[in-house]
Structure 1
Amino acid sequence: MDYKEFCEHIKDEIKGFLPEQYAAYDTQLHTVSKPNVGEQVGLTFVPPISGTPAPVIYLEPYYDAYLNRGMSVGRLITQIADTAVKGIERGRSGVGGMLGLVPDMADWNKVKDKVTVRVIGVSRNTELLKEIPCRLFGDIALIYQVSVKAPDDTLMTVRITNNLMEQYGILEPQLYDTAMENSQRLQKVTCRPMGEVIGDLLGPMDDPIIDEAPAKLYVLSNETLQFGAAALFYPGVIEKIGNSIPEGFYILPSSIHEVLILPKNQGEKAMLENMVQEINETQVAPDEVLSDFVSEYDARTRTMEWGRDPNLTLPEQLKDKTPDRTPMLPKDVIL
């Protein structure tokens, strides 16, 4: 069966796999535009009681398992039902979705201290970027989201669209200022040698591989390592790194969670871009890819040449989203 038939079949059959106590839940299909991967179909379990969080399960991975890994539809429905039950139970216990944590999503006064920045790629997301407030830096777009930690420490986010910003009654500069202030408070910047980061992830080893990491390769992110590539745009970060690397540096867009900083005398831009593109294709989850293009900072002139797709023509709606320069920001940032 094709993808549309698969989704409709799952929606129609799934209730027969749910425990009896959840028989009153309705099932609906809807599409959501997600960075890098475009529109995805979500199966929503709508509760009978208004205001209770409704679990949403995206069906693309299950269709891939059906199409390419030979898994039966019955087995997949069982898996989806199990996932749905866990989501429903989380909602009933107060650990549910964003609706349960922030019921007044359209009220600026209720969400303004939860708004943060994140980044996505430009060339992969031109259609999506038309619908959301953003600033473009070459192939990297700075966008905004409402971020909330659930009681179990799960980070939940809702992307801010142009329509939502209009409901807030504010303009993009105010959204930018608020989100940047919150991000620095809630998701503090970190910049550490690659070897240290790998060592923290893997723990003590008899034959550590961290010795293989380039001595002057740094990982720039935030303390949570979630959406940390946006820390590149925190006040003073670029200038602070430039002061520490007088020969200038390259920015390698590792993922939406971090970027890598490499002094210019440690590599060639063309070779680095080839490496980034290969890693994006083989080792980074599709929805976490940031960009294929390397940026270059000249410490002498304090200017950035942002990596971009030379063949991309921006839609008219995005041509005024490019700042004239990287904002010059306070110097008291701590790395």
Structure 2
Amino acid sequence: MMNFNEFIEVIKSKVEVKLGDNHLVECKQVLKNNGVTYHALHIRKEGNNTSPTIYLEPFYNIYLNQGADRVNNNLINEITKLYTENIDSPPYMNEVWKFTDYEFAKNKIMYKLINTQQNRELLKKVPNIPYLDLSIVFYLYFGADDNEQYTAMVYNTHKEIWGVDSEIIYHHAMANTQNAFPASIRSLQQIMQEFAQLANLEDFSDNKILEPPIYVLSNTKRVNGAGVLLYANILEGFSEKRGCDLIILPSSTHEVLLIPADNDVDFQELQAMVKDINITEVPAEDRLSDHVYLYERNTNTIYIAA
């Protein structure tokens, strides 16, 4: 069987043959969150500005599971099908040129939280603001359909073209993100009950109470929801309602868990649990932090507890 690099070269060659000479087929590495790198085909038809990105790791897994020595033509057909389904330019492409004007772009800028240590190389290239062991970074949000969101990371080159500093970008991103992605706090109990109903789990009882109660903080889209930690009055209002400080467990970049704090909490034990879950359950690209945070309602402050 082929190793991954050999697989990539075979796929690239076969796709080139299938699509013909009027298509440029390139293989590139795509850097994602936390230094995770994917390998992708970029395919562009002559005279077309759109270049769909097709990640090859899932196809390599299919190839391995098939146990074949050669690449099945069905794989090539699936890849070219993906290309033809995504060849049309997304609606926002008609306005790309406008994003060199900050007055136009500023209403599309959002922010998200990422881990500082795991994204050292990326942070050299993008405007960012440190926050605890995390960093606030920015992206342009063009919209979404049923399948995905259309976004683009904001790089230092954007900031230079716009002629603004990171604080100004942050000011607009904060307002935009809260408006586009409202906060959501739901009890884990409720989420488990809804899942049980959907899965027809008859043995799940509504009377099973989680102690201590755990709440899931995210946004209504469940994408980059950890950034809700920075929304105005969210933690302050929830902690006042609960009458206590809040333990914050960084579940992923998309959500965090809130637990009412008490005097008996063992933060070192919680941190060990967070580390273990990150390693065993959370995809590397979605990991936020191995630390445990505490929100102190008297000072309206989040700090690293362990």
Q: TM-score, normalised by structure 2?
A: 0.85
Q: Secondary structure of the residue that 1:14 maps to in structure 2?
A: helix
In the alignment, structure 2 segments of 5+ residues that lack a partner are none
Superposed CA deviations along residues 62-121 of structure 1, whole A, max 9, x for unmatched, are 44555688465513x7435424423433333x5x48646746444433432221111111
- How many residue pairs end up in the alignment? 301
**Contact 1:194–1:214 (CA<8 Å) still a contact in 2?**
no
Task: Select the residue among 176, 179, 190 that pairs with 1:182.
Answer: 176
Partner of 1:228: 225
**Contact 1:98–1:157 (CA<8 Å) still a contact in 2?**
no
CA distance in 1, matches of 2:87, 2:17: 21
Partner of 1:12: 13
Percent identity, aligned pairs only, is 28
The one-letter amino acid paired with 1:145 is Y
* Structure 1 segment 182-331 matched on structure 2, within 5 A: 182-204=176-198, 205=200, 206-208=202-204, 211=208, 213-214=210-211, 216-265=213-262, 267-306=265-304
In the alignment, structure 1 segments of 5+ residues that lack a partner are 309-335
CA distance in 2, matches of 1:303, 1:258: 19
Q: Secondary structure of the residue that 2:87 maps to in structure 1?
A: helix
The one-letter amino acid paired with 1:282 is T
2:155 is equivalent to residue 157 of structure 1: no
Q: Secondary structure of the residue that 1:208 maps to in structure 2?
A: coil
**Contact 1:249–1:264 (CA<8 Å) still a contact in 2?**
yes
Q: Secondary structure of the residue that 2:30 maps to in structure 1?
A: strand
* C-alpha RMSD of matched pairs (Å): 2.9
2:111 is equivalent to residue 117 of structure 1: yes
**Contact 2:225–2:253 (CA<8 Å) still a contact in 1?**
yes
Q: CA separation of 1:257/1:151 partners in 2, compared to 1, >3 Å: closer, same or farther?
A: closer
Q: TM-score, normalised by structure 1?
A: 0.78
Superposed CA deviations along residues 276-310 of structure 1, whole A, max 9, x for unmatched, are 122211222221111111111222343322368xx
The one-letter amino acid paired with 1:8 is E
* Structure 1 segment 76-155 matched on structure 2, within 5 A: 78-79=74-75, 81-92=77-88, 96=90, 99=93, 102=96, 104-152=98-146, 154-155=148-149
Question: Quick check: 53-62 or 102-111, which moved more?
Answer: 102-111
Q: CA separation of 1:279/1:161 partners in 2, compared to 1, >3 Å: closer, same or farther?
A: same
The one-letter amino acid paired with 1:302 is N
CA distance in 2, matches of 1:85, 1:118: 32
Q: CA separation of 1:244/1:73 partners in 2, compared to 1, >3 Å: closer, same or farther?
A: farther
Q: Secondary structure of the residue that 2:150 maps to in structure 1?
A: strand
Superposed CA deviations along residues 30-66 of structure 1, whole A, max 9, x for unmatched, are 2332112433332100122233x21111233444555
